[in-house]
Structure 1
Amino acid sequence: MSKYKKQSHVIYKCDYHIVWTPKYRFMILKGGIKALVEEDLRMLCEWKQCEVQELNVQEDHIHMLVSIPPKVSVSKLLGILKGKLAIKLFKSYPKLKQKPYWGNHFWARGYFVSTVGLDKEMISRYVKYQEKEEKKNEDNQQRFELGLSIQVCK
């Protein structure tokens, strides 16, 4: 059976799959920025009594599978995560405030959220291994384009 969590007056299982992107979907979440984002996401979630079950920071978006207690709304949690991370990123990397980047806005406005029920294992695998699949598809696309350009040159 599923793993339920307890607080003083509630027993719950509230798991969410959340995805969000940097503004303009810039491919910026790599290297030191990626490490900072991963570390701080886990720290901020722990501070709000949320449990990060899976986390995948890719160059242009973040996937997170997280268990959130009923007293914390998803929108409040995302507001805290995106706000605190943006402030820290701009302090740690002041060049992000310059063109061609953002000014004072790091994250795109919206986000995707889905409750996780019986398909938790499938979503967990998807979040964990999505990056490998994307790279495989990217490599296949590059091979295809290379093959087309070779044929055109002949």
Structure 2
Amino acid sequence: MSKYKKQSHVIYKCDYHIVWVPKYRFRILTGEVGMLMDKDIRMYSEWLGCEIAELNVLVDHVHVVISIPPKESVSTYMGTIKGKTAIKVFKSYPMLKKRPYWGNHFWGRGYFVNTVGINEDQIRRYVKYQKDEERKEESNQQGFDFDPGT
């Protein structure tokens, strides 16, 4: 990610570290569902004019380090990403909607956001290697595994 970006009337550096989870933090972002999320988050981010520096879709949460232009707010970005990906996953896996705990909501209500400044390299390394840390933790404990095919 270059230091500064330029649009017609603005030069900016608006980088964020954002984390969000599926409803009830179910461990559903695996296999095909995880690959679908990765692809769609990248596609919708590009559609909004945002540039992803790091993206990591883990089994129960998503990390992204992203540059969002000043014309877009973080809340608009998150509303678009969470809304569009939820519609797509329910369309691709209609059996998920039948389960009583999902309703029409795939994602949890909130998200974590932090501006990325001086500690950008540290945050990018954290996001990049988070999956390795998750694997270490998973080997130590059993979790709820969700198979979207059931």
TM-score when normalising by structure 2: 0.90
SS at match of 2:71: coil
Q: 1:30–1:137: structure 2 CA closer, same or farther, 3 Å change rule?
A: closer
- Alpha-carbon distance in structure 2 between the residues aligned to 1:136 and 1:59: 13
SS at match of 2:118: coil
**1:105 partner letter:** H
Shift of 1:100: 5.1
Aligned residues between the structures: 141
Paired position in structure 1 for 2:148: none
- Alpha-carbon distance in structure 2 between the residues aligned to 1:104 and 1:141: 30
- Alpha-carbon distance in structure 1 between the residues aligned to 2:100 and 2:16: 33
Paired position in structure 2 for 1:131: 131
Over 6 Å off, 4+ runs: none
| 1:122 partnered with 2:101 | no
- State the superposition RMSD in angstroms: 1.4
Shift of 1:3: 1.3
- Alpha-carbon distance in structure 2 between the residues aligned to 1:83 and 1:19: 15
Shift of 1:75: 0.2
**1:128 partner letter:** K
- Alpha-carbon distance in structure 2 between the residues aligned to 1:127 and 1:59: 14
Shift of 1:138: 3.6
In the alignment, structure 1 segments of 5+ residues that lack a partner are 143-154
- Alpha-carbon distance in structure 1 between the residues aligned to 2:54 and 2:101: 28
- Alpha-carbon distance in structure 2 between the residues aligned to 1:30 and 1:139: 16
Q: 1:80–1:96: structure 2 CA closer, same or farther, 3 Å change rule?
A: same
Structure with the larger helix share: 1
In the alignment, structure 2 segments of 5+ residues that lack a partner are 143-150
**Relative contact order (alpha carbons < 8 A, sep ≥ 6): 1 or 2 greater?**
2
Shift of 1:136: 1.8
- Alpha-carbon distance in structure 1 between the residues aligned to 2:81 and 2:91: 16
